[in-house]
């Protein structure tokens, strides 16, 4: 019997209707290819752990799903696509996934890499350093008006500052931007990073 997690059941049930069959299919393939993999939730998304390492994960969004491997070298290059969190691209239907036999082969390859003690290529690649971003005028003014927020923001590493700056500047509507600005200052004043909810997952 595969080891399942009721939180994964809940995640699938809460997903958009089109995504539920996709998520169930991926779940079934992982358990078929690697029966000892254990289900869990990481970063608020379903993952499978094998040998103490992350084997695979899946995510559902409004209009697509993403599936991937921690060991992305397990994915057949013919199936690799850009434009989504996972290595397989933005999946909207079962026909866009590799056939079950190929999918299970990838899962088994990922498990074999874990057995060999291989390091994921994503860990071997040096992190690309992005240039520091300057806070937009509205954020800078809001921080200046809140001493706690200003002090915490200044103490954040550049990546944490960037998370807030991008979150605010990527808002498509002025109303959304203002709402994010207010929320950001509140969290920053408490010393919280943009993704603080997921840091202890």
pLDDT tens for 28-44 read 999 999 999 999 999 88
Say which DSSP state 70 is in: S
Tens digits of residue pLDDT in 62-81: 999 989 888 776 665 655 56
List domains and CATH numbers for the chain: 6-124 (3.90.1150.200), 137-198 (no CATH)
How high is the mean pLDDT of the chain?
Answer: 86
- Which among 77, 43, 78 has a CA at the least distance from the CA of 58? 43
Q: What is the pLDDT of residue 201?
A: 41
Tens digits of residue pLDDT in 142-183: 999 999 999 999 999 888 898 999 999 998 999 999 999 999
Distance CA 141, CA 125 (A): 38
Q: Kindly tell me if the per-residue pLDDT of 86 is higher than 80.
A: no
Q: Around Cβ 97, how many Cβ atoms within 10 Å?
A: 19
Comparing 119 with 142, the larger pLDDT belongs to 142
| 53-60/38-42 β-pairing | unpaired
Beta bridge partners of 49: 38, 54
């Amino acid at each position: 019997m595969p080891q399942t997690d009721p939180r994964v059941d809940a995640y699938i049930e809460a997903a958009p209707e089109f995504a539920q069959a996709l998520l169930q299919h991926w779940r079934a393939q992982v358990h078929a290819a690697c029966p000892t993999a254990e289900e869990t939730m990481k970063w608020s998304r379903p993952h499978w752990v094998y040998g103490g390492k992350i084997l695979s994960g899946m995510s559902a969004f409004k209009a697509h799903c993403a599936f991937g491997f921690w060991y992305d070298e397990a994915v057949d290059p013919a199936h690799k696509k850009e434009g989504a969190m996972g290595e397989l691209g933005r999946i909207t239907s079962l026909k866009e996934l590799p056939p079950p036999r190929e999918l299970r082969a990838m899962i088994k390859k990922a498990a074999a890499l874990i057995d060999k003690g291989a390091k994921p290529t994503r860990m071997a690649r040096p992190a690309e350093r992005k240039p520091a971003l300057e806070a937009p005028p509205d954020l800078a003014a809001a921080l200046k008006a809140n001493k706690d927020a200003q002090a915490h923001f200044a103490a954040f590493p550049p990546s944490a500052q960037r998370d807030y700056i991008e979150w605010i500047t990527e808002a498509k509507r002025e109303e959304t931007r203002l709402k994010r600005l207010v929320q950001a200052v509140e969290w920053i004043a408490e010393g919280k990073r943009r993704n603080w909810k997921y840091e202890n997952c």
